[in-house]
Amino acid sequence: MVQSSKLCCTAGGGLVMNGWDTYKQGFDAWEKATAQLLETWLKSPLVLEPAGTLLTSVMKVKTASDKAAAVWWGAMGLPTKRDQERTLHALNELESRLLDLEEKLDAKTRS
């Protein structure tokens, strides 16, 4: 059997489509129809409003969960995320001041 990219020759001399090309054409047709349907469906207020409500609810649950975790960590005597961020900010400020002082010291020792 001699194969080309789209057609192949059979022993009887007839031409048939390659299996991959047939599959690809079918998939492309399915994908186009599905994309059109989903695009219409996802623009519908019947989908968007409940999805927005669900997202809002999930974010409220996450916020409550984060607050509960912070309270729990604090009750255990461990630093919360906010405490860690505050400490990191203070360390960054100290590092910046230290670098400034080192630069001033270098400038004075050179002159």
The answer to whether the pTM exceeds 0.85 is no
pLDDT tens digits, residue range 11-65? 555 555 688 888 999 999 999 999 999 999 999 999 999 999 999 999 999 999 9
Residue 6 has pLDDT above 50, yes or no: yes
The Cα 97–Cα 104 span in angstroms is: 11
Burial class (CB in 10 A: 0-12, 13-18, 19+), 62: exposed
Extract the tokens encoding 54. 């669900």
What residue ranges do the domains of the chain occupy? 79-111
